[in-house]
Amino acid sequence: MAGSMRTVRAIALGLILVVCTPVPAFAASSRTDREIQAQLLAQIKILASDDFDGREPGTEGEAKTLRYIARQWFDIGLVSGTNDPGNEWFMPVTLVAREPAASQATFQRKGYRTALTPGNILVLTSGHRSLVRNAPLLFVGKARGNDFTRNELAGRIAVILDGSRPDSERQNELLSLGASAVLTVLDGERSLEQVAARRKRSGYALSDDAIGGDLEAFITREDMVSLLKGTSQSLEDLEKLADAEDFAPVTLDLTASLEATTRETTIHTHNLIGKLPGRHPEAGAVLYVAHWDHFGECGEPTAEDRICNGAVDNASGVAAMTEVARRLARGQPLDRDVYFLATTAEELGLLGAHAFAENPPLPLTRIVAAFNIDSVAIAPKGTPFAIVGRGMTSLDADIAKVAKAEKFRLRDNDDANEFVKRQDGWALLQHDIPTVMVTTAYGDIERMRAFFDGDYHRPSDDLSHPIELGGAVQDVKMLTALGRWFGDLRKVPTEPGAG
């Protein structure tokens, strides 16, 4: 794909697609609204078409997606925003997919070795290969509200009870404190099969992320009972100890050798970055973000429709960002630069947003405000706006001024923050970029939850049924107004910065 994306001339070949036209669920009233609605629908039809095969990173679907978006942005009048002559428009992002390959566990008690088959125990690592030999087992109970020292945990395998409230943060904390591995006893509702089904899926990371060597193992309660037979402790006695307020870790009469390996696959993908130059770029920049990626073919192998088209999530967000760019480009140049970032691998863990922040085209401190746009084709016209990330930056007061000037209603609660960690804005916030989502989609939380419980991440998120564009039209107008406000040195003379 890199060869076809080297220059704008290569992109300008464009695409010709024939698609059906679904009936939108919103009939726009004003001429402006009708224009925005038509542009949104036309772009969503293309981005969510089967021809793009679900927009999976590293596939021909990605190549088609990025050629189409870049052609739109070039025609609008944007220029490359990578600020890198060697990679115009397209910022390379390299991912590594890691999938569990093999595991082995051997326990020793009083000189006798017991090997458990993979069907009775699951051993996982985030690294390529991890191994612990003959490490003593330290029972740490529920590991909630207890302080463990490195001296207690170092060189030991921490044994923890899963209980009725599984919490991966407990395992991560024990590993960070120096435990050689964590062995979780599934004494609650989770089964080994359920853990295996969830944890054996491929995990993704940026290729330059440090590869961990941590080891996590899971064992059934029954098998743990069997392992402890003939020792001085029983699992029942240990469970009673774990309930005591004065619980202290217990060294078990067992040692273990654990080993796990993973298979790695490299994926070459791209962020797309465009820019609308301002008159005073030294004064900072405004950033818009929307992820272009989805899951490709994710339906059941026997299903008639296997393509996850991602019409709402997030063809609608990319279309809305493009329309904001179109409207801003029509006006007078703003004081500040405006960047438009279409991220990759959001669905794989916000990885494209992290890649942008770790290798930015401008100093992150110069980004005055960032607005993420995700799954906006949800709410009808007239739905109030919500801020996802409300109270987490110093942008709220200015957003309220813009909403008042545009005669849009704005929710005055933090309900939408329930979803703040599920979108690219969260990744940017971790890098101190003041980022929020200002959208009608979360103005009606129940409607958003219904989407998550329904078409979300399924092949049915397509245009086989009417799509709601009323709120999306309002989003485009509000986001355009926000760009003009934060891009104006008279309105925002200094950088608000993250809260």
- How does pLDDT run across 230-288, given as a tens digit for each residue? 889 999 999 999 999 889 999 999 999 999 998 889 999 999 999 999 999 999 999 99
Boundary of a domain, candidates 243, 264, 285: 264
Q: Is the pLDDT of residue 12 over 50?
A: no
Confidence band for 57, pLDDT divided at 50, 70 and 90: very high
Q: Is the bond into 314 cis (omega within 30 degrees of 0)?
A: yes
Same domain, 453 and 325: yes
The answer to whether residue 498 is domain-embedded is no
Q: What is the DSSP letter of 417?
A: G
- How does pLDDT run across 163-198, given as a tens digit for each residue? 856 666 788 889 888 999 999 999 988 888 888 877
Long-range contacts of 303-306 (CB under 8 A, 24+ apart): 303/459, 305/459, 305/460, 305/462, 306/459
The answer to whether residue 494 is domain-embedded is no
The answer to whether residue 499 is domain-embedded is no
| Domain hosting residue 248, numbered range | 97-264
State how far the Cα of 383 lies from the Cα of 270, in Å rounded to an integer: 34
The answer to whether residue 425 is domain-embedded is yes
Helix residue ranges per DSSP H, 377-466: 396-405, 424-430, 445-453
Residue pair 138/238 in contact by the 8 Å Cβ criterion: no
Out of 91-95, 113-117, 124-128, 398-402, least confident range: 113-117
- pLDDT for res 115: 73
Same domain, 221 and 125: yes
- How does pLDDT run across 19-41, given as a tens digit for each residue? 344 445 555 568 999 999 999 99
Share of the chain above pLDDT 90, in %: 72
- How does pLDDT run across 290-341, given as a tens digit for each residue? 999 999 998 677 777 889 999 999 999 999 999 999 999 999 999 999 999 9
Q: Is the pLDDT of residue 9 over 80?
A: no
Place of tokens 């016209």: 381
* Model confidence pTM above 0.85: no
- pLDDT for res 119: 77
Same domain, 41 and 90: yes
Same domain, 216 and 273: no
Total H helices, total E strands in the chain: 14, 15
The answer to whether residue 369 is domain-embedded is yes
- pLDDT for res 209: 66
- CA–chain centroid gap for 38, Å, is 29
DSSP per position, 280-306? -GGG-EEEEEEE----SB-S-TT-S--
Same domain, 305 and 363: yes
Q: Is the pLDDT of residue 101 over 90?
A: no
Same domain, 205 and 335: no
